[in-house]
Amino acid sequence: MSKYRVLIDANDEKGLVYKVSTVFYNNDLNILSNSEFVDKENNKFFMRSEVDGDIEALELEKYLKEVLPSTSSIKVIEPKKKNIIIMATKEMHALGDILIRHESGELEANILCVISNYEDLGSLVEKFDIPFLSISHINLDRNEHEDKILECLSLYDNLDYIVLAKYMRILTPRFVETYSDKIINIHHSFLPAFIGANPYKQAYDRGVKIIGATSHFVNNNLDEGPIIAQEVIHVNHAYSWRDMQRSGKDVEKVVLSRALKLALEDRIFVYANKTVIF
């Protein structure tokens, strides 16, 4: 008995759910869960199903391709732990939260290593028996530093996601394109507000009443990639910007871990710089 996650992204037309369900029925598959969404403005259909039964993944994919439009994206995924690498700088709250959740078995992931441009987080990571690699950027230009990181990443086969747990360096287009839709970032504000450096100071100067955090896929526009998860908390006039920053760290770590969990469970569809999440 095998279990699969079936992800379908297609141009919408009548009968798609019927066609997919018929394939499941004809192959004696049991539907464990099912979610659908139609974006009527863009005529896009999305479907995520969890099924189990006696069939090979490639065979199920073949049957689905036979009944769905030729332009459809069809993925039949056997649930298993995904391989991730975490990149960080000096702040430990987001990284620490992921490491604890991983240690407790909360995340369907193998953390292959943690990479940082400083050595500060090494002692934390080593407590979890995970390799820690310090790749310094000192005396290197951005491309030279990225060359070293990319060389390191190339040693790991089947890398599913790179998680930027407060990695405070802007990635070049070359890096982003190498791992398109595979880099998950946490931004310390409720995007699209307060993009860039020190958003808590920006928020304080603006007199905001809520602050938040946004996790998103990285693209070549700073902090403008497809949004995966967001959260906010209330603040008031008594908060300094450093108070906001301290409170914001709690939101950041929760939002990043939530976004990572969604990715690991194959719940995210990316299109038109947006996400559909089941």
Q: Which residues are catalytic?
A: 223
Chain centre distance of CA 214: 11
DSSP sequence for 16-63: HHHHHHHHHHHTT-EEEEEEEEEETTTTEEEEEEEEEES--HHHHHHH
Report the distance separating Cα 26 and Cα 41, nearest Å.
Answer: 33
Report the distance separating Cα 119 and Cα 60, nearest Å.
Answer: 47
The two tokens of residue 135 are: 């790749």
Residues 6+ apart with CB under 8 A from 253: 93, 94, 96, 97, 98, 186
The two tokens of residue 82 are: 């995904």
* In the block, residue with structure tokens 């040693």: 155
Residues 6+ apart with CB under 8 A from 157: none
Is the Cβ–Cβ distance between 183 and 171 less than 8 Å? yes
The two tokens of residue 229 are: 């998860």
Is the Cβ–Cβ distance between 17 and 47 less than 8 Å? yes
Q: Report in angstroms the alpha-carbon separations of 128 from 112, 125, 134, 184.
A: 12, 6, 16, 22
